[in-house]
Amino acid sequence: MKKILLLSALTALFAACSQDKAPKVLVLYYSQTSTTKVVAEEISKRLGADIEEIVPVEPYGTDFQATIARSSQERESGKLPEIKPLASDISSYDVIFLGYPVWFGTYALPIGTLLDNVDFSGKKVVPFCTFGSGGLDSSTRDLKAKLSGAEVLPGYGVRQARIAAVPAEVERFLKLGGFLEGEAEEYEDFGAVHPVSEAESAIFDAAVGTYPMIQAKAESVSSRPVPGGTEYLFEARDIPRGPAPDPAAPATPPFKVCVLDLDGQDPVFTQVLR
């Protein structure tokens, strides 16, 4: 309900602006491997918005382990990467779509540099991100904490493994947010939470598959119909790795996994919420 109210308020804002002048929109993004770039360009194309890439002075490259090592060192030292100056004048825009890959559960470090050096006060900021398993919710929380002078709106996130879904999902997201004209189907709320059945457990296991970052067992679930199938919201708990844990130790906290089970397709998880 809160999300619906936020989106309704945004739709009203854009309608009011259209009577005077359309809000000026910028799509601003950092993309390490060009995956986030795909989303940024789709948003820019749909809205006819200006677009600019955030470029580190020293690029990270595409090697995963090298990026982990470098960004870990930067996080520990508190020294953020230097980025090249922006060509865009942020002060001239009303709405900033801010895109990034998720690193360590939040926005990538070049975004941290941007936030430290650019004033977003009075702007409406719409996050969008790409990730291996999740991070839209956690990175949005961090953006809200960092950008106290801006209004951070509900965002869009997609797993790198589901990049083919971007055109349809971005169109729906923009329409629901009032950024794009046209109607998009509102999904009903998830139903009541209940213990997983054997069939539902099999759907969860098939969705997470061999993804190395998820070794968990589903405990409870709720679901709702979506076009072409069912969306599940599982609550799961990590399966201990290595030696058996101390029975006296506190249990690991549960986390949530969104799963799409569409007709004629294998189940796939869309994001992890921790």
Domain residue ranges of the chain, discontinuous segments joined by +: 2-176, 194-273
Q: How far apart are CA 209 and CA 96, in angstroms?
A: 36
Q: Of the spans 19-33, 115-129, 236-250, which averages the highest pLDDT?
A: 115-129
Q: Tens digit of pLDDT for each residue in 181-199?
A: 999 999 999 999 999 999 9
Check: CB of residue 187 under 8 Å from CB of residue 205: no
Which 3 state secondary structure label does DSSP give 274? Answer: coil
pLDDT of amino acid 167:
98
For residue 111, pLDDT over 50 is answered with yes
The CA-based diameter of the chain, rounded to the nearest angstrom, is 65
Q: Tens digit of pLDDT for each residue in 166-175?
A: 999 999 999 9
Give the strand pairing for 124-131 and 151-152: parallel
Assigned CATH class of 2-176? alpha beta
Q: Tens digit of pLDDT for each residue in 142-153?
A: 999 999 999 999
Q: How far apart are CA 68 and CA 185, in angstroms?
A: 39
pTM over 0.75: yes
